[in-house]
DNA sequence: CTGAAAGCGCTAACAA
DNA sequence: TTGTTAGCGCTTTCAG
């Protein structure tokens, strides 16, 4: 019934040609003041909506998107996000979408910098990236802005050059939730630890946001009986690491640990399993293989799911929709903080998005 | 680089016309054995993928979809799903998608039946529905099958006339999770109740699946010290209801209640709040206003989110993609069982999908 | 049984 | 400054 109004209809009503109407719609000038006004008026009155399908068909130009992420081989978390890339690529297979992947070394800002340079050289129509190294990212995305290349950020955000869209979670709330999950049901006062374990020096705003939330949770508890310690272990020497962990475990007041890094979770849960769990609660992030096993076994009590796969998938989708169809994007696409426990784990593994 | 292969290319390679290729692709016969084989071979070899955009453009016929759901005014849960319809409608606004909504009385199978009839009369291209009344649904969707009208089911599934796609959760696991959330951290044996409260007689497979999971959880606990009671209250007489609840509350062994219906959750949590919560745990479903309030206040301990909005949204999307682009759909689109607690509630409310 | 041709709605190049 | 026109890739008559 509601016959769609086309550019032809507009042209007829305004007594001009479709060419003129198109010029008005896309503001590519060369239109007489008078015609312009007439067309705009009719556009408004009729509430004309362009047919995106036709628009996409005609352009039919392959949209080129660059994906700039940490090397998935280094970290299982980022391996999950690759599944999101694959899924998006499949989804858009018929629409000429060219996805090129650029993986940088998660622990070397040098690597980020050089990969970013490559991305720029390839002159993509859009970029989706994880701004792991803040300083380098600011620099890189500033040049993107200058060149008018839209970029979408996943996992963590940047304030200064603002992205077309950010996809991720509220990290502060995430830290709070981690604290709550550890503290929940515990009546005795004690010590709670938040641990970041990585391979190299690696100052990340990402982790500190979580830590702030974690600390604030215990502050809010009112009674000052909670001691919060933050542990940064930045070495690959398994020995040293194990020694430090053993020392931590031996603290009789230790009630729980929140591990923020995937490598970390693996090490800590293995050690805790060996030692016998007793009363130390453990919360980690994401549906990584080792985490799943330890959640099932009971070493890990809860996981907080960040859904790396879906973050990346949505990111590419938004960017492509923007580029191909000029659709509007959600500037701040926040994911909920998903709690995964023993009894709902299976439903996550069964679910389509996993 | 990867120049897309078109139907023209195929035609040229097979030395036939595009018409013939099209006839082969869509199996609309009238093709000589020989040409058929030739074309199929080339199709396979080249891995031809149709351009969905072009396909959608040419048909350009407005796809007509009927939405058959319970009246959102009767139940907040179904009100959420309306948001999903709205969202989908917006998303597909430019693509001539005609969505017509048919709301039936949640408590009257008669109403379902008559609405279903109306749907059939409107001769839609596809249907998305919640098969609340099993018997009537089986009948209705059987006629849909006969008429070749594809239908997508949300919330609960039907076995017999199988839908194009089902979107929902595993209800058995859901009941289990509810039980676990109640039982967790409780050491003393006791009584656990699962409650279904509705306005009218209403035998629903939906609820019984959850109940099975609930009961099985406690069976699995090994020790026989858990008593499970199931309560069906099917009246609107507030007095009687309150009396029955008071009686339940007065059972000193009662440890927790899982309420499966939205109306129920509202009543129970209000009563429990008045009485003083003490040791009775309460778990309910979905981010309904009253549930959110009581979760914040502590009367409700956990919510299990079914994400009615997204279920409906995804359902319409799948159906439209199928109808408009002939895209493949996921036959069994399972959602994870999301646990909402005090500390991650806000993230759910902030998230885009809410 | 097959090929030719007219569009679907929009864009962009080219003429006027 | 404007109008005309040739496609984008596919579907669907309509003649042969």
pLDDT tens track for A231-252: 887 766 777 788 888 888 889 9
Residue A178 lies in a domain: yes
The reply to whether B283 and B317 lie within a common domain is no
Q: Which of A92-96, A243-247, B161-165, B229-233 has the lowest mean pLDDT?
A: A92-96
Is residue B33 pLDDT above 70, yes or no?
yes
Q: Taking residues A53-61, what's their average pLDDT? A: 78
Per-residue pLDDT, B110: 95
Residue A340 lies in a domain: no
Mean pLDDT of chain B: 89
Residue A86: which domain range?
Answer: 58-169+308-335
Q: ∠ CA(A75), CA(A200), CA(A110), 5° rounding?
A: 85
Q: What whole-number distance in Å separates Cα of residue B331 and Cα of residue B106?
A: 26
The reply to whether A299 and A179 lie within a common domain is yes
Q: Which residues of A touch B49 (CB under 8 A)?
A: 93-94
Q: Which of A279-283, B49-53, B122-126 has the lowest mean pLDDT?
A: B49-53
Q: Which of A51, A57, A173 is facing B54, going by the closest CB pair?
A: A57
The reply to whether A175 and A300 lie within a common domain is yes
Is residue A206 pLDDT above 80, yes or no?
no
Residue B119, both tokens: 């749907």
Q: Which of A80-84, B44-48, B79-83 has the lowest mean pLDDT?
A: B44-48
Angstroms from B247 CA to nearest CA on chain A: 28
The reply to whether B297 and B197 lie within a common domain is yes
The reply to whether A42 and A13 lie within a common domain is yes
Per-residue pLDDT, A203: 56
Highest-pLDDT range among A20-29, A240-249, B249-258? B249-258
Residue A232 lies in a domain: yes
CB atoms within 10 A of CB B242: 14
The answer for A 144-203 residues in CB contact with B (under 8 A) is 169-170, 173-174, 176-177, 180-181, 184-185
Which residues are B282's β-sheet partners?
Answer: B257
Q: Which residues of B touch A185 (CB under 8 A)?
A: 184-185
Whose CA is nearest the C1' atom of nucleotide D13? B19
Task: Determine which of A7, A48, A53 to mutate to test the interface with B (most B C-beta atoms within 10 Å).
Answer: A53
Q: Which of A123-127, B66-70, B192-196, B204-208 has the lowest mean pLDDT?
A: B204-208
Residue A226: partners with Cβ closer than 8 Å, 6 or more residues away: A183, A189, A190, A191, A192, A218
Q: Taking residues B153-160, what's their average pLDDT? A: 92
The reply to whether B331 and B235 lie within a common domain is no
Residue A344 lies in a domain: no
Provide, in whole angstroms, the distance separating residue A164's CA from nucleotide C11's C1'. Answer: 25
Residues 32-51 of B with CB under 7 A from strand C: 32-36
The reply to whether A293 and A322 lie within a common domain is no
Q: Which residues of B touch A94 (CB under 8 A)?
A: 49-53
Per-residue pLDDT, A26: 86
A57 with B52: Cβ contact below 8 A: no
Angstroms from B69 CA to nearest CA on chain A: 24
Mean pLDDT of chain A: 89
Helices and strands of chain A, counted as H and E runs:
14, 12
Q: Taking residues A41-50, what's their average pLDDT? A: 89
Share of chain A above pLDDT 90, in %: 58
**pLDDT band of A192, cuts 50, 70, 90:** very high
Provide, in whole angstroms, the distance separating residue B183's CA from nucleotide D10's C1'. Answer: 59
B232 vs B351, more confident:
B351
- Residue in chain A closest to B347 (alpha carbons) equals A336
Residue B193, both tokens: 């109740």
Per-residue pLDDT, A275: 81
CB atoms within 10 A of CB B57: 18
Q: Which of A27-31, B130-134, B319-323 has the lowest mean pLDDT?
A: A27-31
CATH number, domain of A297, equals: 3.40.50.2300
Q: Which residues of B touch A333 (CB under 8 A)?
A: 352
Nucleotides of chain C touched by protein CB (<7 A):
1-5, 7-14
Closest CA to A284 of A221, A159, A195: A195
Closest CA to B281 of B268, B264, B293, B267: B268
Q: Which of A38-47, B96-105, B194-203, B213-222 has the lowest mean pLDDT?
A: B194-203
Count of residues in chain A: 354
Whose CA is nearest the C1' atom of nucleotide D5? A19
Q: Which residues of B touch A57 (CB under 8 A)?
A: 51, 53-54, 57
Q: Which of A111-115, A189-193, A274-278, B101-105 has the lowest mean pLDDT?
A: A274-278
**pTM > 0.85:** yes
Angstroms from A332 CA to nearest CA on chain B: 8
Which residues are B186's β-sheet partners?
Answer: none
Is residue A326 pLDDT above 80, yes or no?
no
Q: Which of A177, A184, A347 is facing B173, going by the closest CB pair?
A: A347
Per-residue pLDDT, B236: 67
Q: What whole-number distance in Å separates Cα of residue B350 and Cα of residue B354?
A: 7
Is residue A59 pLDDT above 80, yes or no?
no
Is residue B246 pLDDT above 60, yes or no?
yes
Is residue B231 pLDDT above 90, yes or no?
no
Q: Taking residues A340-344, what's their average pLDDT? A: 95
Per-residue pLDDT, B1: 41
Per-residue pLDDT, A224: 65
Residue A68 lies in a domain: yes
**pLDDT band of B203, cuts 50, 70, 90:** low
The reply to whether A155 and A188 lie within a common domain is no
B186 vs B179, more confident:
B179
- Measured between its terminal Cα atoms, the distance across chain A in Å is 41
Residue B258: partners with Cβ closer than 8 Å, 6 or more residues away: B175, B178, B179, B182, B192, B193, B194, B195, B210, B214, B283, B284
Provide, in whole angstroms, the distance separating residue A26's CA from nucleotide C9's C1'. Answer: 15
Angstroms from B109 CA to nearest CA on chain A: 31
Question: What's the structural domain count of chain A?
Answer: 3
A26 vs B348, more confident:
B348
Q: What whole-number distance in Å separates Cα of residue A154 and Cα of residue A121?
A: 22
Residue B348 lies in a domain: no
Task: Determine which of B4, B90, B94 to mutate to test the interface with A (most A C-beta atoms within 10 Å).
Answer: B94
**pLDDT band of B55, cuts 50, 70, 90:** confident
The alpha helices in B147-297, defined as continuous H runs, are 171-183, 205-220, 238-250, 262-275, 289-297
Q: Which residues of A touch B342 (CB under 8 A)?
A: 180
Provide, in whole angstroms, the distance separating residue B16's CA from nucleotide D8's C1'. Answer: 21
Q: Name the 3-class secondary structure at A183.
A: helix
Residues 52-81 of B with CB under 7 A from strand C: 54, 57-58, 60
Q: Taking residues B241-250, what's their average pLDDT? A: 85
The answer for B 53-112 residues in CB contact with A (under 8 A) is 53-54, 56-57, 60, 93-96, 98
| DSSP result, A134-182 | HHHHHHHHHHHHHTT--EEEESS--SSS--SEEEE--HHHHHHHHHHHH
Provide, in whole angstroms, the distance separating residue A2's CA from nucleotide C16's C1'. Answer: 37
Q: Which of A60, A184, A343 is facing B176, going by the closest CB pair?
A: A343
Per-residue pLDDT, A1: 40
Q: Which residues of B touch A56 (CB under 8 A)?
A: 53
Beta-carbon pairs below 8 A across chains A and B: 121
Q: Which residues of B touch A335 (CB under 8 A)?
A: 347, 351-352
Residue B344 lies in a domain: no
CATH number, domain of B26, equals: 1.10.260.40
Q: Which of B78-87, B120-129, B181-190, B197-206 has the lowest mean pLDDT?
A: B197-206
Q: What whole-number distance in Å separates Cα of residue B20 and Cα of residue B186?
A: 70
- Residue in chain B closest to A4 (alpha carbons) equals B96
Q: Taking residues B236-250, what's their average pLDDT? A: 82
**pLDDT band of A316, cuts 50, 70, 90:** very high
Is residue A27 pLDDT above 90, yes or no?
no
The reply to whether A107 and A232 lie within a common domain is no
Angstroms from A256 CA to nearest CA on chain B: 16
Q: In this structure, is the CB of residue B94 within 7 Å of any atom belonging to strand C?
A: no
Domain endpoint, select from B50, B73, B89: B50
**pLDDT band of B235, cuts 50, 70, 90:** low
Q: What is the pLDDT of residues A295-305, one digit of tens each?
A: 999 999 999 99
The reply to whether B138 and B234 lie within a common domain is no
Residue B286 lies in a domain: yes
Q: Which of B53, B338, B352 is facing A338, going by the closest CB pair?
A: B338
Closest CA to A92 of A51, A130, A126: A126
A337 with B347: Cβ contact below 8 A: yes
Q: In this structure, is the CB of residue A266 within 7 Å of any atom belonging to strand D?
A: no
The reply to whether B188 and B293 lie within a common domain is yes
CB atoms within 10 A of CB B7: 19
A339 with B336: Cβ contact below 8 A: no
The reply to whether B280 and B330 lie within a common domain is no
């Amino acid at each position: 019934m509601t016959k769609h109004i086309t550019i032809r209809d507009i042209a007829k009503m305004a007594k001009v040609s479709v060419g003129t109407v198109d010029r008005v719609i896309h503001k590519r000038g060369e239109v007489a003041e008078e015609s312009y006004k007439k067309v705009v008026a009719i556009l408004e009155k009729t509430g004309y909506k362009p047919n995106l399908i036709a628009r996409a068909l005609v352009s039919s130009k392959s949209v080129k998107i660059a994906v700039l992420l940490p090397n998935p081989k280094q970290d299982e978390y980022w391996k999950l996000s690759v599944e999101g890339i694959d899924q998006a690529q499949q989804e858009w297979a018929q629409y000429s979408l060219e996805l090129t992947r650029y993986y940088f070394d998660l622990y070397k800002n040098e690597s980020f910098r050089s990969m970013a340079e490559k991305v720029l050289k390839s002159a993509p129509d859009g970029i989706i990236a994880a701004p792991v190294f803040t300083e380098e990212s600011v620099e890189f995305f500033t040049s993107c802005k200058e060149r008018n290349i839209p970029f979408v950020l996943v996992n963590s955000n940047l304030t200064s050059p603002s992205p077309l869209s950010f996809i991720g979670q509220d990290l502060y709330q995430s830290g709070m939730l981690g604290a709550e999950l550890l503290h929940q049901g515990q009546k005795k006062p004690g010590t709670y630890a938040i641990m970041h374990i990585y391979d190299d020096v690696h100052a990340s705003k990402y982790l500190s946001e979580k830590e702030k939330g974690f600390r604030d949770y215990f502050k809010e508890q009112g009674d000052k009986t909670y001691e919060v310690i933050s542990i940064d272990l930045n070495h690959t020497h398994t020995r040293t690491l194990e020694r430090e962990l053993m020392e931590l475990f031996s603290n009789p007041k230790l009630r729980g640990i929140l591990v923020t890094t995937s490598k970390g979770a693996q090490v800590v849960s293995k050690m805790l399993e060996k030692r016998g769990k007793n009363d130390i609660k453990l919360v980690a992030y994401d549906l990584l293989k080792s985490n799943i096993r330890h959640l099932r076994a009971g070493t890990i009590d809860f996981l907080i799911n960040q859904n790396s796969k879906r973050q990346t998938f949505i990111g590419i989708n938004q960017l492509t929709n923007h580029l191909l169809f000029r659709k509007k994007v959600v500037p701040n696409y926040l994911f909920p903080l998903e709690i995964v426990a023993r009894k709902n784990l299976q439903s996550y593994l069964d679910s389509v998005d996993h």
